[in-house]
């Protein structure tokens, strides 16, 4: 019996026990129903950052972190509704396919043969307490969708404060020296670094600096959501 068949049975079983309800209106069937999808705001542009030698080579964020999208991420993170992530990824690829010219640079990079996917890690104590890392789930679902290897390339070695109420300067200071390479194995030359939301970019930039310091040549960031 194939894994995909077992996954399908498991999904159907969970849907019976815990039916998906729309984050907007509560209708059963999807986490974002067709009526409420119109309230998802698309992020305005692809950002590129050449500000430092070890900075990101590019960044894609698909949805503005506001309204129903903000509610969705809150419930994914705090009510542990991680199975909403595949739905958002599928919607994200529909957006990219519909506006291919805007996402062409990212998609060309993503589908390059020598690209691997990695993600922003949580500190092991926090992940054990929470039960999952939403950024890892996004990365693994992305890898599954496009048949790309997902690697655990980073560890978070310092417990940090929540970034939520910190200004940009404090965010940078908070995550400084928080990450290290997780393995002595050679890293790929190109990676897509995945996180859930881009706010000031302090966390992703710190991860990118560690990756490039260890020999990675090009890093694109990918987040589902972006703060305005």
Q: Domain ranges in the chain?
A: 41-64+103-226
Task: Tell me if 187 sits within 8 A of 216, measured CB to CB.
Answer: yes
pTM of the model: 0.87
Q: How far apart are CA 10 and CA 31, in angstroms?
A: 18
Query: pLDDT at position 71, please?
Result: 93
Per-residue pLDDT of the chain (228 residues; tens, 9 = 90+): 445 655 665 555 555 567 899 999 999 999 999 999 999 999 876 666 555 566 899 999 999 999 999 999 999 988 888 889 999 999 999 999 999 988 999 999 999 989 999 999 999 999 998 889 999 999 999 999 999 999 999 999 998 877 777 788 888 888 899 999 997 778 999 999 999 999 888 999 999 999 999 999 999 999 999 986
CATH architecture of structural domain 41-64+103-226: 3-Layer(aba) Sandwich (3.40)
pLDDT tens figures, 84-119:
999 999 999 999 999 998 899 999 999 998 999 999
Work out the number of other CB atoms within 10 angstroms of the CB of residue 99.
Answer: 11
pLDDT tens figures, 188-219:
999 999 999 998 889 999 999 999 999 999 99
Work out the number of other CB atoms within 10 angstroms of the CB of residue 117.
Answer: 22
* Proportion of the chain in helix, strand, coil states, percent, rounded to 5: 45, 20, 40
Q: Which two tokens stand for residue 109?
A: 């990079």
């Amino acid at each position: 019996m194939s894994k995909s068949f077992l996954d399908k049975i498991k999904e159907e079983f969970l849907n019976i026990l815990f039916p998906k309800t729309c984050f907007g209106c509560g209708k059963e069937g999807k986490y974002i129903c067709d009526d409420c999808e119109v309230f998802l705001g698309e992020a305005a542009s692809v950002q590129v950052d050449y500000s430092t030698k070890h900075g990101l080579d590019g960044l894609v964020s698909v949805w503005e972190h506001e309204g129903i999208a903000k509610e969705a991420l809150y419930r994914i993170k705090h009510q542990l509704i991680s199975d909403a992530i595949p739905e958002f990824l599928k919607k994200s690829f529909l957006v990219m396919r519909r506006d291919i010219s805007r996402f062409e640079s990212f998609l060309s990079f993503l589908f390059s043969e020598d690209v691997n996917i990695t993600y922003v890690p949580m500190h092991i104590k926090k992940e054990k307490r929470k039960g999952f890392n939403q950024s890892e789930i996004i990365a693994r679902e992305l890898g599954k969708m496009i048949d790309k290897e997902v690697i655990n390339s980073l560890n978070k070695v310092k417990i940090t404060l929540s970034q939520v109420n910190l200004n940009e300067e404090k965010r940078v200071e908070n995550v400084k020296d928080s990450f290290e390479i997780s393995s002595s194995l050679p890293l790929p030359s190109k990676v897509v670094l995945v996180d859930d939301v881009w706010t000031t970019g302090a966390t992703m930039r710190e991860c990118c600096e560690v990756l490039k310091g260890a020999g990675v040549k090009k890093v694109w960031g990918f987040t589902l959501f972006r703060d305005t």
